[in-house]
C-alpha cells in the first residue's frame, strides 16, 4: 500500500496562509465586536437614566421639575458672543431671555432627587481626574486642534467658547462627575443641573473617546411635560471615526 501525506513544507505553507488571512480579518472582526458591545452598553445606560427620570416625575406627582432644556432651541442657534478677550475667550455674551434654552429654577432639587434614584458610588465636585472619578479625556479644544492643526490657540478658544466647560483643563479640574455602581461615568457640563451632561458608558475602560464610549445627552421637557432624555442637539464632540449619541441610539 502507498501512504499519502503532506510534506512538512506544504503544512508550513498552509499554516502561513491561514495566519496571513487571520491577520487581515481579525482586526475588522474585533472592531465590529467592540462597536456592537459599546452600542449595547450605550442603550443599557440610556434606558437606566431614562427610567430614573420617569421615577423623578412620579415622585413629584407627574410635574416636571424645572431643570431642563427645551427639546430644541426656541430661537436659531445659541446666544452669540459680542466680545472676545485677547486669548479668544468670550467676555460678553448677547443678553437674552432666561428661557432661551430652558429652565433651571429647580436644579438643586433635581440633583438631590437624581442622586436618590440611581446607585452612585462616588462623586467628584471638581478635580475629577486627580480624584479618580474619570480617566483622561480629550477636550473640545484638543479635538479642534487635532482636526485643524493650523488653528492658533486663540482661534481654538473662539471656536469652543460656547462649550468652554468641556475643554480639557475644565474637564479635569472644574467639572462635577458621578461614578455609578456599574462603572458608568456621568460628567456634568457648565450648566446647572443635568440639563446637559456627558456619559462614558464603560467608565474607566478604554477607548475613553468622544463618539466611541463618551457621548452627550440632555434632559428636556416641553411646557412642563414629563422629563425626557435625548441626544444633545447642539453640542456633539466626536473624535475621528466616532458617532454621535443620536447615531448610537438609532442605528
Element (H, E) at 186: strand 185-188
Chain centroid, CA 82 distance in Å: 29
Residue closest to 117 by CA, chosen among 42, 51, 189, 177: 51
Q: Is the pLDDT of residue 97 over 80?
A: no
How far is the CA of 83 from the CAs of 49, 90, 102, 142, 168, in angstroms? 38, 6, 24, 23, 23
pLDDT for 25: 65
Looking at every residue in the chain, the average pLDDT score rounds to 88
Q: Is the pLDDT of residue 60 over 70?
A: yes
Are 66 and 104 spatial neighbours (Cβ–Cβ below 8 Å)? yes
Confidence of residue 238 (pLDDT cuts 50, 70, 90): very high
Percentage of the chain with pLDDT > 70? Answer: 88
- What do you get for the CA distance between the two ends of the chain, in Å? 62
Question: Phi/psi class of residue 146: alpha, beta or left (left: φ > 0; alpha: ψ in -120 to 50)?
Answer: alpha
Q: Is the pLDDT of residue 125 over 80?
A: yes
The stretch 58-70 carries a mean pLDDT of 88
Of 54 and 28, the one with more pLDDT:
54
Are 104 and 68 spatial neighbours (Cβ–Cβ below 8 Å)? no
Confidence of residue 87 (pLDDT cuts 50, 70, 90): very high
Q: Is the pLDDT of residue 234 over 80?
A: no
Residue closest to 66 by CA, chosen among 97, 98, 110, 100: 110
Q: Is the peptide bond between 171 and the residue preceding it cis, with omega within 30 degrees of 0?
A: no
Are 149 and 156 spatial neighbours (Cβ–Cβ below 8 Å)? no
Of 36 and 171, the one with more pLDDT:
171
Q: Which of 31-45, 117-131, 210-224 has the lowest mean pLDDT?
A: 31-45
Q: For the whole model, what pTM was predicted?
A: 0.85
Rg (C-alpha) for the chain, rounded Å, is: 23
Helix (H, G, I), strand (E, B) or coil at 187: strand
Amino acid at each position: 500500500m502507498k501512504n499519502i501525506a503532506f510534506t512538512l513544507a506544504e503544512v508550513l505553507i498552509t499554516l502561513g496562509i491561514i495566519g496571513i488571512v487571520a491577520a487581515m480579518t481579525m482586526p475588522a472582526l474585533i472592531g465590529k465586536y467592540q462597536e456592537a458591545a459599546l452600542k449595547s452598553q450605550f442603550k443599557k445606560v440610556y434606558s437606566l437614566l431614562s427610567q430614573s427620570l420617569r421615577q423623578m416625575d412620579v415622585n413629584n406627582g407627574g410635574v416636571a421639575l424645572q431643570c431642563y432644556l427645551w427639546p430644541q432651541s426656541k430661537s436659531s442657534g445659541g446666544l452669540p458672543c459680542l466680545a472676545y478677550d485677547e486669548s479668544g475667550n468670550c467676555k460678553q455674551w448677547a443678553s437674552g431671555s432666561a428661557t432661551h434654552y430652558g429652565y433651571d429654577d429647580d436644579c438643586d432639587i433635581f440633583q438631590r432627587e437624581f442622586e436618590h434614584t440611581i446607585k452612585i458610588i462616588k462623586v467628584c465636585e471638581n478635580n475629577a481626574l486627580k480624584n479618580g472619578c474619570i480617566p483622561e479625556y480629550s477636550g473640545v479644544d484638543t479635538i479642534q486642534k487635532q482636526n485643524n492643526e493650523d488653528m492658533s490657540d486663540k482661534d481654538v478658544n473662539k471656536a469652543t467658547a460656547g462649550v468652554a466647560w468641556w475643554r480639557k483643563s475644565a474637564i479635569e479640574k472644574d467639572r462635577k462627575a458621578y461614578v455609578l455602581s456599574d462603572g458608568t461615568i456621568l460628567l456634568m457640563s457648565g450648566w446647572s443641573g443635568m440639563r446637559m451632561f456627558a456619559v462614558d458608558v464603560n467608565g474607566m475602560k478604554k477607548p475613553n473617546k468622544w463618539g466611541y464610549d463618551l457621548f452627550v445627552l440632555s434632559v428636556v421637557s416641553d411646557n412642563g411635560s414629563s422629563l425626557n432624555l435625548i441626544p444633545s442637539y447642539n453640542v456633539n464632540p466626536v473624535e475621528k471615526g466616532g458617532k454621535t449619541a443620536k447615531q448610537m441610539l438609532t442605528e
